[in-house]
Amino acid sequence: DHLLKKATENEYNTSKGISFLELKYQLLLSYLMNLTYISLQKSQGSSIQDDPAIDRLIEIRTVLEKMRPIDKKLKYQVDKVVRTAASGGTDSSDPLRYRANPENLISKLDDESESESEGEEKKSKIYHPPKLTAMHYEGDETEMDKDQKVLERAKKRALSTSMLRELREEFSEGPTEIRETTSTQRSRAERKLRERTHYEEENFMRFSVSKKDKNEMKRVAGLSSLNNLTHFDDISALTEGRAPQAGGSSKKRKHGGKGKKGKKGFKKKRIH
C-alpha cells in the first residue's frame, strides 16, 4: 500500500542506475502483469488456449533465464555500487577500489628483493632450502611406524600378484573371465613404436634410434620374454610377515640370466 503510493509518486527513479538492472525490472514487471492476467482468466472460467499472453510469458521467461549468468558475473560490480551508495562516496585511496592497481604489485616485488639482499648478510651461514611447495612431514613417525607401513604396502602388493590371483580364481564361485593376455611391457613398447612411426610419417623424416631404444626393442621382440615364465613374485610379506628385502636382487637376476643365456647360446653355435 505504502509501496504503491511511493511507486505512483515516482519516488523510485531508476534512470541513473545500471541499465542491465533497469531491463530486469521491466521484464519482471511485464512478466507479473501477464501472469496476473492469465490467473484472472482462469479464475473467471474462460479458457487460456492460444492466448497471446502465454507467448509473451514464454518469451520473457527465456530472456530472464539467459540474463541469469550475466547477473552472476555483474554481482561483484553491483555489490560495490550498493556499498558505495550506502556509505555515501568513496575515498580515492580506498584499498577496495573497483580496479586492481598494478603499481602496488611491482613495488611489492622490489621490496622483497631488497629485503632479501639485506637479510642474507644478517643471517647465519646455515643453508635453508627455499620453501616452494608443501612437503610431506614425517618427523613424528617412529622407526616402528615406518616398518609397519612398509610391511602393509608389501602385503598389498603381494595380494595382487599373479599367484594369489590364480588362487582366488580357483576358489571363487563367479563365472571365469577369459581375457586376452596383454603384457604391459609389450603394449608399452608397441604404443611407443606406433607413436614414433606416426610422427615419422606425418613429418616425412626418420628418427635415429638410440642404443637404449634399440636394445629395448630387441628385448621385447626376442627370447627374453621366456625368462618371465619361471619368475614368480615375492609374497614373503604374507607368508612370513616381514617385508621383502631390497627388490634390486630380482631385477639383477633377470639381466644376469639373460646375459648368461645369450652367451651360452652363442658358444653352442660356435662349437657345432
Partner 1 sequence: AATIRTRKFMTNRLLCRKQMIVDVLHPGKATIPKTEVREKLAKMYKTTPDVIFCFGFRTKFGGGKTSGFGLIYDSLDFAKKFEPKYRLQRHGLVEIKKTGRKQRKERKNRQKKVRGTKKAKVGAGKK
Q: Give the interface with partner 1 as residue ranges (CB under 8 A).
A: 200-201, 204-206, 221
Q: How many residues does the chain have?
A: 272
Q: Closest approach of Cβ 217 to partner 1, in Å?
A: 9
CA triplet 148, 251, 185: central angle to 5 degrees? 105
Neighbours of 220 (CB within 10 A): 17
Radius of gyration of the chain (CA): 38
- Look at residue 234 and give its three-state secondary structure: coil
Q: Which is nearer to partner 1, 171 or 204 (CB)?
A: 204
Q: Which is nearer to partner 1, 47 or 203 (CB)?
A: 203
The CA distance from 31 to 64, in Å, is 10
The CA distance from 124 to 120, in Å, is 8
Q: Closest approach of Cβ 200 to partner 1, in Å?
A: 8
Q: Which is nearer to partner 1, 98 or 207 (CB)?
A: 207
Q: Closest approach of Cβ 67 to partner 1, in Å?
A: 49
The CA distance from 186 to 220, in Å, is 6
Q: Which is nearer to partner 1, 11 or 201 (CB)?
A: 201
Q: Which is nearer to partner 1, 137 or 204 (CB)?
A: 204
The CA distance from 181 to 233, in Å, is 18
CA triplet 129, 135, 140: central angle to 5 degrees? 105
Q: Which is nearer to partner 1, 111 or 200 (CB)?
A: 200
DSSP 209: P
Dihedral sign, CA of 216, 221, 222, 227?
positive
Q: Closest approach of Cβ 193 to partner 1, in Å?
A: 11
Q: Closest approach of Cβ 269 to partner 1, in Å?
A: 21
Q: Are 213 and 221 in contact (CB under 8 A)?
A: no
Q: Closest approach of Cβ 174 to partner 1, in Å?
A: 41
Q: Closest approach of Cβ 204 to partner 1, in Å?
A: 5
Nearest one of 269, 260, 174 to 224, comparing CA atoms: 260
The CA distance from 39 to 54, in Å, is 11
Q: Which is nearer to partner 1, 186 or 231 (CB)?
A: 186
